[in-house]
Amino acid sequence: MRSTARIARAFAAAGALTLALTACGGGDDDTSTSGDGGGDEVVTVGFVAVGPEGGWRQANEANVQDTFTEEAGFELKYAPATNLDQRSQIDAFTSFVDEGVDVILLSATEGAGWEDSLRRAQEAEIPVILVDRGIEPDDTDLYVTRIAPDNYEVSTSVAEWAVSAFPDGGNYFVLEGPAGVSVVNERNQGWDDTVGSAANLVKIGAQTANWSTEEAKSVFETVLRANNNDIQIVFAQNDEMGLGAAIAVEEAGLTPGVDVQIATIDGTKPALEALSEGRLSFVAEYNPLFGETLLDVVGKVLDGEEVEPYIIVPSETFDSPEAATAALPTRKY
């Protein structure tokens, strides 16, 4: 393990800062630390990131950048994917291994295809921590831990709401994220395992809208026309797609929240605003603000301590306009 005196000194400074950090994105924190002033007393962190992909991703990656700062004793090398391309991520990962960074944080655009890169990091004794997304196959020998909310449990909460909200049955459609992404598979599984046993809910279909509001609007417009508007439930695997479905419902002359119930995952401020207005019916949070947890885990890993292979970030659900309205004043993303 790459635990050195230099790393230990940097984490001594970072530890003092941890108490002052708040888990929020967007760079609003006013944090500082005295540090020791040593130019090479830093922990180098390579962050293989997804990059622009909606409100959740922006909040998550800003939160990581706000946590691993120079003042806290880190040099964070942020490498967002080029147009969500996995090849660009693999190139960045390889570059970080060649540079000899102290730790790599990986948010993968695609679940498969990481074995060779992870083995290379392992041979270089560089620990890898998965941020949000998992890999397939999920070989925990190739990375230290994954830190994320539990997609299965989050989507199960959406499915349980749907079963409860439609005791007399209904037709549903699923707006999915991009194929091949671990969170999409996990969200499908949680939903299917619950709704699949409910005979009263009928699946009309599923289609990717690539996390996009505009694409979801276009997809769901077509679905409504093809089914004579006979869709009662939309499960959108992120907020942006749910908001796109709401626009499609409105433009079809229907009322979201009345004629078509829309449930989403992420819990961004625009989704809670839409829920407070009745345009969405259920929002499950997928908490992006876990920089403090990540900081703590990086410290333990570089100090040679054992950590759990999957560290779950707590999240909550919002099932009414009143719940959304109450949460909005303190929403940070």
CB 72 within 8 A of CB 104: no
Rounded to an integer, what distance in angstroms lies between the CA atom of residue 263 and that of residue 157? Answer: 10
Helix (H, G, I), strand (E, B) or coil at 64: helix
Other beta carbons within 10 Å of 39: 5
Bridge-based pairing of strands 103-106 and 201-208 is unpaired
8-state DSSP, 84:
T
- Which is it for the CA torsion 46, 50, 51, 55, positive or negative? negative
**Number of compact structural domains in the chain:** 2
Rounded to an integer, what distance in angstroms lies between the CA atom of residue 262 and that of residue 278? Answer: 10
Q: Are residues 64 and 46 in the same domain?
A: yes
279 exposed, middle or buried (CB, 10 Å; 0-12, 13-18, 19+)? buried
Q: Are residues 119 and 39 in the same domain?
A: yes
**Domain holding 263: CATH number?**
3.40.50.2300
- Helix, strand, coil % (nearest 5) of the chain? 40, 20, 40
Q: Are residues 256 and 127 in the same domain?
A: no
Q: Are residues 205 and 274 in the same domain?
A: yes
Q: Are residues 39 and 142 in the same domain?
A: yes
CB 221 within 8 A of CB 248: yes
Q: Are residues 156 and 279 in the same domain?
A: yes
pLDDT of amino acid 40: 56
Orientation angle between helical segments 239-251 and 213-226, nearest 10 degrees: 50
Q: Is residue 205 part of a domain?
A: yes
Q: Are residues 14 and 121 in the same domain?
A: yes
Q: Is residue 35 part of a domain?
A: yes
Q: Is residue 213 part of a domain?
A: yes
Residue 45 carries which side chain, given as an amino acid letter?
A: V
Residues 6+ apart with CB under 8 A from 228: none
Residues 6+ apart with CB under 8 A from 156: 190, 191, 193, 194
What is the residue range of 20's domain? Answer: 5-149+288-302
Q: Is residue 309 part of a domain?
A: no
Q: pLDDT digits over 241-298, tens only?
A: 999 999 999 999 999 999 999 999 999 999 999 999 999 999 999 999 999 999 999 9
Tokens of residue 232, six digits: 């009662």
Tokens of residue 275, six digits: 């829920």
Residues 6+ apart with CB under 8 A from 126: 2, 96, 97, 100, 101, 102, 103, 104
Phi, psi of 100 (to 5 degrees): 80, 40
Q: Is residue 307 part of a domain?
A: no
Q: Is residue 314 part of a domain?
A: no
Other beta carbons within 10 Å of 142: 18
Q: Are residues 92 and 176 in the same domain?
A: no
Q: Is residue 121 part of a domain?
A: yes
Q: pLDDT digits over 197-229, tens only?
A: 777 899 999 999 999 999 999 999 999 999 999
Q: Are residues 223 and 296 in the same domain?
A: no
Tokens of residue 217, six digits: 């609007």
Q: Is residue 310 part of a domain?
A: no
Length of the chain: 333
Tokens of residue 20, six digits: 């002052």
Q: Are residues 65 and 174 in the same domain?
A: no
Q: Are residues 220 and 72 in the same domain?
A: no
Q: Are residues 158 and 175 in the same domain?
A: yes
pLDDT in tens, the chain (333 residues): 454 433 443 444 444 444 343 333 444 443 333 333 344 578 999 999 999 888 899 999 999 999 999 999 999 999 999 999 999 999 999 999 999 999 999 999 999 999 999 999 999 999 999 999 999 888 889 999 999 999 999 999 999 999 999 999 999 999 999 998 889 999 999 999 999 877 789 999 999 999 999 999 999 999 999 999 999 999 999 999 999 999 999 999 999 999 999 999 999 999 999 999 999 999 999 999 999 999 999 999 999 999 999 999 999 999 999 999 999 999 999
pLDDT of amino acid 199: 72
Residue 34 carries which side chain, given as an amino acid letter?
A: S
Rounded to an integer, what distance in angstroms lies between the CA atom of residue 267 and that of residue 148? Answer: 15
Rounded to an integer, what distance in angstroms lies between the CA atom of residue 237 and that of residue 147? Answer: 19
Element (H, E) at 201: strand 201-208
Residue 312 carries which side chain, given as an amino acid letter?
A: I
